[in-house]
């Protein structure tokens, strides 16, 4: 009769080994997005920051190197200048561009939220079949070119476009309105373009909301608008914050919409950035503009994130 003996304790992995292998697996999973961010965000950021510390030159590339090697003395000289950043703060033009970009992005985000919230609420409260149809309609604009959609708005808003023709045919106006190349056209283009980025996070949050909480508030005497303010809005706060960030951040640096729909007096930092890079070929100043814009956007986001952690 043969008997099998239990494996000895020495053949089993120790608690330290199991913890070590689990920790190694966790780090391998985390390293994938970390390497992605390092390759496509952090390293390009360092390159742009390096260029912002150099001086503009008529050369290829059009900026001075930070390190200059002297073969005679075998020493490398580091030449760093902060003149580009000082020029940004001394020039009223760039300050106005930053403020104008923040203003246009904030107003566009507000109207995108006002329009997107009812749409997301309707989708979340629809049946499964209708919900699929409505979500498909929201995602449908992504199937066409972004540039083509902006050109379509140019055709609609010009003086002999469809909008003016409809308004004149129903007798609301006597002569065509100047809609294209105005700030209103820029607001309209940004709201239309980034509306899906507001609807989808809001829908995700509202779809998970427990409807019994609203019924309980109404049973306790709360009117529909009060139940909406006290129950629906607080529960939808994560979706509101996510949607506003997805709209506001890219809208600040928007270039295509102001260039095609806005006028010559529509001042946005994305347009200034393009002009400095490709028209003036002042890469150091353009890099400084980009770095300051990134700090302006990322700084408040990190502050809000830390504030939410402390609140929890």
Question: Same structural domain for residues 50 and 99?
Answer: no
Region of residue 29 (left: phi > 0; alpha: psi -120 to 50; beta: else): alpha
Question: Same structural domain for residues 72 and 196?
Answer: no
> Which residues contact residue 21 at a Cβ distance below 8 angstroms, ignoring those fewer than 6 apart?
13
One-letter-per-residue 3-state SS of 256-279: HHHHHHCCCCCCCHHHHHHHHHHH
Question: Same structural domain for residues 55 and 107?
Answer: no
Q: Which of 288, 34, 261, 232 is nearest to 120 (CA)?
A: 232
The answer to whether residue 222 is domain-embedded is: yes
Each residue's pLDDT tens digit in the chain (312 positions)? 455 554 555 555 565 566 566 777 777 778 888 888 778 888 888 999 999 999 888 878 888 888 777 666 667 777 888 889 999 888 889 999 999 999 999 999 999 999 999 999 999 988 889 999 999 999 988 888 888 999 999 999 998 889 999 999 988 888 888 989 899 999 999 999 999 999 999 999 999 888 788 878 877 787 888 888 888 888 899 999 999 999 999 999 899 999 999 988 888 998 888 888 888 889 999 999 999 988 888 876 776 565 455 444
Question: Same structural domain for residues 171 and 284?
Answer: yes
Range of the domain at 63: 15-78
CB of 135 within 8 A of CB of 206?
A: no
Q: Which of 97, 106, 104 is nearest to 289 (CA)?
A: 97
Cα–Cα distance, 50 to 30 (Å, whole number)? 28
Cα–Cα distance, 98 to 100 (Å, whole number)? 5
The answer to whether residue 302 is domain-embedded is: yes
Question: Same structural domain for residues 133 and 216?
Answer: yes
Question: Same structural domain for residues 96 and 24?
Answer: no
Cα–Cα distance, 102 to 105 (Å, whole number)? 5
Handedness of CA 124, 126, 132, 134 (dihedral sign): negative
The answer to whether residue 102 is domain-embedded is: yes
Question: Same structural domain for residues 210 and 67?
Answer: no
Answer with the one of 78, 100, 115 that is the final residue of a domain. 78
Question: Same structural domain for residues 45 and 158?
Answer: no
CB of 153 within 8 A of CB of 185?
A: yes
Beta-bridge partner residues of 106: none
CATH code of 239's domain: 1.10.3720.10
CB of 68 within 8 A of CB of 79?
A: yes
Question: Same structural domain for residues 140 and 69?
Answer: no
Question: pLDDT digits over 162-190, tens only?
Answer: 999 999 998 888 888 898 989 999 999 99
The answer to whether residue 274 is domain-embedded is: yes
The answer to whether residue 6 is domain-embedded is: no
Question: Same structural domain for residues 47 and 192?
Answer: no
Q: Which pLDDT score, from 0 to 100, does residue 145 have?
A: 87
Query: 253: which 2 tokens?
Result: 């640096």
The answer to whether residue 8 is domain-embedded is: no
Answer with the one of 49, 78, 107 that is the final residue of a domain. 78
The answer to whether residue 3 is domain-embedded is: no
> Which residues contact residue 170 at a Cβ distance below 8 angstroms, ignoring those fewer than 6 apart?
none
Question: Same structural domain for residues 92 and 56?
Answer: no
Q: Which pLDDT score, from 0 to 100, does residue 153 have?
A: 92
Q: How many domains does the chain have?
A: 2
Answer with the one of 44, 59, 78 that is the final residue of a domain. 78
Question: Same structural domain for residues 281 and 230?
Answer: yes
Q: Which pLDDT score, from 0 to 100, does residue 16 have?
A: 56
Cα–Cα distance, 214 to 232 (Å, whole number)? 8
The answer to whether residue 5 is domain-embedded is: no
């Amino acid at each position: 009769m043969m008997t099998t003996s239990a494996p000895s304790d020495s053949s089993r992995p120790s608690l330290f080994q199991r913890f070590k292998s689990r920790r190694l697996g966790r780090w391998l999973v985390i390293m994938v997005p970390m390497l992605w961010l390092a390759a496509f965000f952090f390293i390009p950021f360092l390159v742009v920051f390096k260029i912002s510390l150099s001086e503009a030159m008529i050369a290829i590339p059009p900026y001075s190197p930070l390190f200059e090697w002297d073969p005679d003395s075998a020493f490398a000289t580091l030449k760093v200048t902060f003149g580009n950043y000082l020029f940004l703060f001394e020039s009223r033009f760039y300050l106005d561009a930053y403020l104008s970009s923040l203003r246009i992005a904030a107003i566009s985000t507000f109207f995108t939220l006002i329009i997107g919230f009812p749409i997301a609420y309707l989708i979340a409260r629809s049946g499964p079949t209708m919900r699929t149809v409505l979500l498909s309609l929201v995602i449908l604009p992504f199937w066409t070119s972004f540039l083509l959609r902006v050109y379509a708005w140019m055709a609609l808003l010009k003086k002999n476009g469809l909008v003016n023709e409809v308004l004149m045919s129903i007798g609301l106006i006597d002569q065509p309105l100047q809609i294209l190349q105005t700030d209103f056209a820029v607001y309209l283009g940004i709201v239309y373009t980034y509306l899906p980025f507001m609807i989808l996070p809001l829908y995700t949050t509202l779809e998970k909301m427990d409807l019994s909480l609203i019924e309980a508030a109404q049973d306790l005497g709360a009117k529909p608008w009060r139940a909406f303010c006290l129950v629906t809005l607080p529960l939808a706060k994560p979706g509101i914050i996510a949607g506003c960030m997805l709209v506001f951040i890219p809208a600040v640096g928007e270039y295509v919409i102001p260039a095609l729909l806005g006028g010559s007096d529509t001042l946005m930092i994305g347009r200034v950035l393009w002009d400095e890079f490709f028209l003036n070929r002042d890469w150091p100043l353009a890099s400084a503009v980009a770095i300051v814009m990134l700090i302006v956007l990322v700084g408040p986001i990190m502050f809000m994130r830390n504030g939410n952690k402390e609140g929890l």
